[in-house]
Amino acid sequence: MTLSLPSDRPDGLNFGLSTLTPLASPMTADTLSRHPDDRYSVLARGWGSDVEDLTGVAARGRRAVPGWPDLQPEGPGRWDRAALRRVEAAVDEILAQGLRPEITLSDNDVPRWLDERGGWRIRETALRYADFAEQLGRRIGDRVSRWVTTPELASLVTDHVAGMRPPSRGGGPRGLAALHHALLGGGLADQALRAAAVTGRVGAAVPLFGAYPATDDPYDRLAADDFEQWAVRLFTDPLLTGHHMDPEGLEAGCPRNPATLAERPGDMSTISRRPDFLTLHWQVPCWVTVPENLPRTVPAQGRYRPLLEANRLLARLGFALVPSDDLEANSIGLPVMPEAIADAVARLQQQYGPLLPPLDIVDRGKGDLGPGKRAQHLKSQLFWLSRLVDEGLRLEGFGYLAVTDDTAWKLSYAQAYGRAKAAVPPDPLPALPCEWASTGPFKERPRPVRPGSPVVLLGD
């Protein structure tokens, strides 16, 4: 028995697999050339089989990153011709198998020569990013079905604001200038691809988290709203409304969102162009409380110490996260709640209404439960999303990125937590939350206490 998902697209919903293994990498070309799907993990291919079993539709999309550092290793205007040929060959391999090539321009990877100048903290990176997009558009623009121009924004913010990778990069709220430049780079890349007359659709991407109040305290509802500001609207407002949102709780001396300090005339119209589609990178549901409620929501057990230390940072933004022990968890301890993805999309639909373009969702694999339960999880996700489609949601794609295909996570964050061991250790390793929360850029910032509430000393 197959599960149908209504769609206003004539060819139905597009399913696909994603990987962050760069197409231009020599290692990729040498070791994974037998079949295009060798670039995707067993988990991802298993998800594709689940899709076909449940819907009767094959997951034909194959999304990958080209690998900007490999393509332009020596400086502006200088391209590695062999790397360009590897990307072209990889795209041709995908087409030869009857699959659809899709390109995400960058998952926050920047050439070393540009990173040494400041990476996304400097405006030049946005301009060079557009050059990169133009070069790819001219090379493979007639073969790629969909392009995602926006870099991976969630990790960009944790790197440049919180300093998770590397710790020295964190600039506190003023690091949000990097977000502005990344959004600008996405807009300029959109223009460059269209100028190169690519035949595929051109879209943008943002992270998506679920937010639920941890208790029935009305202040927890407000805390969940604060979380949504920082985890969702920080990215969607500039893309969909043409304005950076101004979150509450910024430090003294920063009356506006610091991202606005990087603006120049014309930037926001470039950022808020109308993309053909918007990819939502689904992450995880989160349970949110005001910091004053932590003593009654987080058990004082040793295994929660990393969470409490991370909350030292989050509390300064007006909220804190609590564990979800009553839910099933996956192999890396993250909660599994299939309806959460639809709840988060519904919130977006309510927030932006007609401003919301057609959506393409990529589940980043953090809810994976293994072969048997994975199929049931997917079926439940599609059921809840189908109800939104019945109510008018324009959903045109659903894809999957397994944790094991996320090389940045696998080689750095995962290794730091002892979940994976890299053949070549990253340099430098990211700091654990207990380090960047207690010594990072937010350390000295006081947070106002709600009148009548006890003072909570997190981790002290």
Is-contact 30 89, C-beta < 8 A? no
| Across 412-430, average pLDDT | 41
- Provide the H-helix boundaries in 300-422: 305-314, 340-352, 371-390, 407-408, 414-416
Task: Please list the residues that pair with 395 across neighbouring strands.
Answer: 359
Q: Distance between terminal CA atoms of the chain?
A: 56
**Whole-number average pLDDT of the chain:** 80
Tokens of 430: 């990211």
Tokens of 403: 């944790």
Question: Residue 248's pLDDT is what?
Answer: 60
Q: What are phi and psi of 199, to 5 degrees?
A: -90, -15
Of 142, 2, 140, 96, the residue nearest 58 (C-alpha)? 2
Question: Residue 265's pLDDT is what?
Answer: 94
- Strand, helix or coil at 362? strand
| pLDDT tens-digit map of 205-262 | 999 999 999 989 999 999 999 999 989 999 999 999 999 987 664 544 444 676 777 8
| Across 77-93, average pLDDT | 94
Question: Residue 40's pLDDT is what?
Answer: 78
Percent of the chain with pLDDT over 90: 49
| pLDDT tens-digit map of 88-143 | 999 999 999 999 999 999 988 899 999 999 899 999 999 999 999 999 999 999 99
pLDDT bracket for residue 34 (50, 70, 90): low
**Which class for 11: exposed (0-12), middle (13-18), buried (19 or more C-beta within 10 A)?**
exposed
Rounded Cα gap, residues 450 and 256, in angstroms: 22
Is-contact 456 292, C-beta < 8 A? yes
- Give 453's DSSP letter: P
Helix, strand, coil shares, percent, the chain, to 5: 45, 15, 40
Residue 101: its H or E element = strand 100-104
pLDDT exceeds cutoff 90 at 443:
no
| pLDDT tens-digit map of 279-327 | 999 988 999 999 888 877 766 565 566 666 677 778 877 888 888 767 7
Question: Residue 87's pLDDT is what?
Answer: 96
35-44, 176-185, 297-306, 423-432, range with the lowest pLDDT: 423-432
Is-contact 68 110, C-beta < 8 A? yes
Rounded Cα gap, residues 188 and 161, in angstroms: 23
pLDDT exceeds cutoff 50 at 441:
no
pLDDT exceeds cutoff 60 at 411:
no
Q: What are phi and psi of 208, to 5 degrees?
A: -135, 125
Rounded Cα gap, residues 164 and 158, in angstroms: 6
pLDDT bracket for residue 460 (50, 70, 90): very low
Question: Residue 157's pLDDT is what?
Answer: 81
Higher pLDDT, 228 or 40: 228
Question: Residue 346's pLDDT is what?
Answer: 97
Tokens of 59: 């997951």
pLDDT bracket for residue 440 (50, 70, 90): very low
**Cα 283–Cα 289–Cα 293 angle in degrees, nearest 5:** 150
Question: Residue 368's pLDDT is what?
Answer: 64
Question: Residue 317's pLDDT is what?
Answer: 79
Tokens of 274: 């109308």
Omega prior to 426 cis, within 30 of 0? no
Long-range contacts of 338-342 (CB under 8 A, 24+ apart): 338/367, 338/377, 338/380, 338/381, 338/384, 339/380, 339/381, 339/384, 340/210, 340/212, 340/284, 340/285, 341/208, 341/210, 341/282, 341/381, 341/384, 341/385, 342/381, 342/384, 342/385, 342/387, 342/388
